[in-house]
Amino acid sequence: MKQIHNPDEALSLFHEYYQMGYKHDYPSFSSLIYKLAKSRNFEAVENLLGVLHNLNIHCKETLFCALFHHYGKAGLTERAVELFHEMPSFNCVRSVQSLNSVLNVLVENDRYSDAKELFDKSKEMGFRPNSVTFNVIIKGLLERAELNEACNLFDEMLERNVEPSVVTYNSFIGHLCKKGEVEKAKSLVEDMVKKGKHPTAVTYALLMEGLCSSGEYKEAKKMMFDMEYKGCKTKVINFGVLMNYLGKRGEIEEAKSLLSEMKKRRFKPDVVIYNILVNYLCKGSRVEEAYKLLIEMQAKGVEPNAATYRMMIDGFCMVGDFQGALKVLNVMLKSRHCPRLETFCRLVAGLLECGRMDGACFVLEEIEKRKLSLDFEAWEALVRDACSGLETTELLTQIVKVEK
């Protein structure tokens, strides 16, 4: 089950073994449910959960935490909360870990009031909130710019003898830096050190972002080179902050020189670093350079992710090189990544516009394989965008053939 990458094939194998009389146990169920949830086949997930429930098979908490995450990404927050309450009926003991997972889903989906309500009920439900629990709620408050409420919750942490973590401080530091109050953020770092908490590379990255946003790039760069003297090792994330700032300003060559600096200092650039450069090169219509960077990262053993491929496809489409975009799409699909629906649509429209009906039909078939559905407005926009080079009737006929 684990070796099969296609969730539909895994589901077929699961049923095939069941019909042969094999009684699946928890590892088989969980392996399949993980795959189906990741591919957003929630109907199949619910069916399997129903079977698990009826068989009274003992389930691990990690399975439900993963499901909360995938339901949350799909915007199905109500189902995530329902499943959280249903966990005991699956012969599964809930801990603060599952509480934290569902709270995070609510906060990330802008359902802060629901998250706070669940948090307030946590004690009577038998949970003892830890620093992660408080961090999630504090993050929600700061995203809503409710600094005073967040500070009150911080005080509540101390009253409940819950030790604030570096993550707790980083949330406040990040909030202050976004507001341009970098000096206050620096003071908070000093207070943090006095209380025995050591700033991490993330802490410095937040301060550097604040400095860059205030136009103090040189100060941010100096901070990166000075942080090791303060007992914190520089990480790739710190270089990323500087490169992102330079990319936004269109200073691509300076950003590329930072990549060279990283290599000189024996830092291995990760996919995030490469993606920053690929992104801004594509936005600057320097797609061929971005493609060379894609080849370089693969040669260096850095695996491109979905964002890398998506930016490359969008970049090729932007400069009208739809054949190049199709080439990247093929590699992306072989790597088991999938573009967003809007990227698919942009590529179809471009291929149709330049008369590549075969390529457009291939992309439409890939959309169908992945069970991505275009609503009427998407079809209307697709046809409208593509009709500049083709007769509308011919185009619609070809599309309908693919849909059938």
Q: Does residue 50 lie in a domain region?
A: no
User: pTM value?
Assistant: 0.81
Burial class (CB in 10 A: 0-12, 13-18, 19+), 265: exposed
The pLDDT confidence band at residue 9, using thresholds 50, 70 and 90, is confident
Domain count across the chain: 1
What pLDDT shows up at residue 242? 96
The pLDDT confidence band at residue 234, using thresholds 50, 70 and 90, is very high
Instruction: Give the span between the Cα atoms of 307 and 345, in whole angstroms.
Output: 17
Residue type, 168: T
Q: Does residue 361 lie in a domain region?
A: yes
Q: Does residue 275 lie in a domain region?
A: no
What angle in degrees, to the nearest 10, is found between the helix axes of 182-194 and 201-213? 160
Q: Indicate the range of 26-40, 193-207, 239-253, 358-372 predicted with least confidence.
A: 358-372
Q: State phi, psi for 208 to the nearest 5 degrees.
A: -65, -40
Burial class (CB in 10 A: 0-12, 13-18, 19+), 203: buried
Contacts with 98 (C-beta within 8 Å, 6 or more apart), sequence order:
61, 64, 65, 68, 84, 87
Contacts 24+ apart (CB under 8 A), 20-27: 25/57, 26/57, 26/58, 26/59, 26/60, 27/1
Q: Does residue 369 lie in a domain region?
A: yes
What pLDDT shows up at residue 186? 93
Q: Does residue 344 lie in a domain region?
A: yes
Q: Indicate the range of 5-14, 34-43, 328-337, 373-382 predicted with least confidence.
A: 373-382
Residue of 341, 295, 352 lying closest to 314 (CA atoms): 341
Instruction: Give the span between the Cα atoms of 201 and 35, in whole angstroms.
Output: 34
Count Cβ atoms below 10 Å from residue 33 Cβ, excluding itself: 24
Element (H, E) at 399: helix 392-403
What pLDDT shows up at residue 57? 87
Inform me whether the pLDDT recorded for 174 exceeds 60.
yes
Inform me whether the pLDDT recorded for 391 exceeds 50.
no
Element (H, E) at 117: helix 112-121
Find the mean pLDDT for residues 263-285.
Answer: 93
Contacts 24+ apart (CB under 8 A), 138-141: 138/168, 138/171, 138/172, 139/107, 139/171, 140/107, 140/112, 140/115, 140/116, 141/112
Q: Does residue 399 lie in a domain region?
A: yes
What pLDDT shows up at residue 356? 78
The pLDDT confidence band at residue 398, using thresholds 50, 70 and 90, is low
Residue of 109, 115, 99, 97 lying closest to 70 (CA atoms): 109
Inform me whether the pLDDT recorded for 393 exceeds 70.
no
Q: Does residue 384 lie in a domain region?
A: yes
Find the mean pLDDT for residues 11-25.
Answer: 82
Inform me whether the pLDDT recorded for 202 exceeds 50.
yes
Q: Does residue 354 lie in a domain region?
A: yes
**Of residues 203 and 231, which shows the higher confidence score?**
203
pLDDT in tens, 46-80: 999 998 898 888 889 999 999 999 999 989 999 99
pLDDT in tens, 111-148: 999 999 999 999 889 899 999 999 999 999 999 889 99
Domain encompassing residue 365: 340-404
What pLDDT shows up at residue 379? 66
Using a pLDDT cut of 70, give the percent of the chain over it: 91
pLDDT in tens, 26-50: 888 899 999 999 888 899 999 999 9
Inform me whether the pLDDT recorded for 402 exceeds 70.
no
Q: Indicate the range of 17-31, 39-53, 171-185, 208-222 predicted with least confidence.
A: 17-31
What pLDDT shows up at residue 373? 67
Are the C-beta atoms of 364 and 399 separated by less than 8 Å? yes
Q: Indicate the range of 131-140, 302-311, 393-402 predicted with least confidence.
A: 393-402
What pLDDT shows up at residue 345? 79
The pLDDT confidence band at residue 401, using thresholds 50, 70 and 90, is low
Mean of all residue pLDDT scores within the chain: 88
Find the mean pLDDT for residues 390-394.
Answer: 50
What pLDDT shows up at residue 363? 80
